[in-house]
Structure 1
Amino acid sequence: MYVKNLKELIMYICNLIRKGTFWFSVKYIFWVILDKIRGVDYVKNESYEKLGLNPEESSVFQATRDIKYLKKVLNDLEITPDDAILDLSCGKGYLMKIFASYPFKKVGGVELSEKLSRTTQENLNKEKISNYEIFNENAATFNQYNEYNYIYMFNPFPSAVMKSVINNLEKTNLDNKRITIIYHHPVCHEAITGGVF
């Protein structure tokens, strides 16, 4: 939003406070500035149109920076160098960066948007992370789950896509290995609980 004068700025801030989004907006601005300083782009909002995405196939890009609870979950898991994690709908790769700080042998990301896939690759290269792999494809048809025993999702896509993902995950788990799904903000929970998980 462009603000012309101080009165408009005050009204805008009051509106954010009234809606309960003021502190989120302050944090967002801080994260954008921090990204600029570091030469990466993890949080800048992107529209469906700009990303060339269809709302029926994907969720809108949502930057994830508040990871306190995710870190607690990861710290409680006994992650070893034999483990590998896949971030479904990895966005700009911020969580892949976090996952790379744990002893995973490999960190994978699936992202439908070509623009976001490129941004993820640029970000992780700037962070000097090498144990990652980006799959620029539709999660509904992705079938390389056999290399991963941890799957992470943050409200990644609509229910129809989630059902295809769970179906493919079941089909490709030929070794019947244990797979841990970390699902933050589970809006398609029924697709998971209705299957073998």
Structure 2
Amino acid sequence: MREGQGNGMEEVYQQTTEPIQNTDSCCDLGYLRTRKGILKLLQVILSFVAFILEEIVQSCMYCHALYFFEFVSCSAFLLTSFLLFVLMTSLKSKLNRIDWLLVDFSYTVVITILFLIAAIVFAAQNDGSGLEKTSVAFGFLATIAFFVDVVLRIKKEGLPGKEREDKPVETKKGSENVKPETEPLNEQANVP
């Protein structure tokens, strides 16, 4: 062993490149480990449980409240499942013309409002059975999960379409202010 080569020198000769991640994989399970992925999965589960509990109610006196809650909980379950599927697969990159963050934010705001209304109406107009009360409770839990998603998104990134004040504003690079070159590249410029 030569002088100067010890444990310290071995660190210099480490691998300098990282292996390329497989970009062709169709599913990114790492998304489910993120805060956003966990929230989406929680929304799917809570919406599904609220829907299932509402579905097994045998009779209703105020059926319009029950049916509205059914519609909202089922819609939330199906659409959030689809959105979760898109966000964790390569479909998101294949449909890159769609602003999925804006779609996700807008959908989450709308479903939060609808779930809150449906849960309040169903809580106010039901037969008082334990099954209905449990369904309402899961409706409120799902509403909270959607609301937390909206609040965290606004805190982290601000409202969609608005530039954050701490980010530099990018100037629009258009061709309207660009002057064409007047000097040939290979000739000497006339120096006065």
For the criterion TM > 0.5, the same-fold answer is no
- Larger relative strand fraction: 1
Q: Point out which structure has higher relative CO (alpha carbons under 8 A, 6+ apart).
A: 2
Structure with greater Cα Rg:
2
Q: TM-score range by the shorter chain?
A: under 0.3
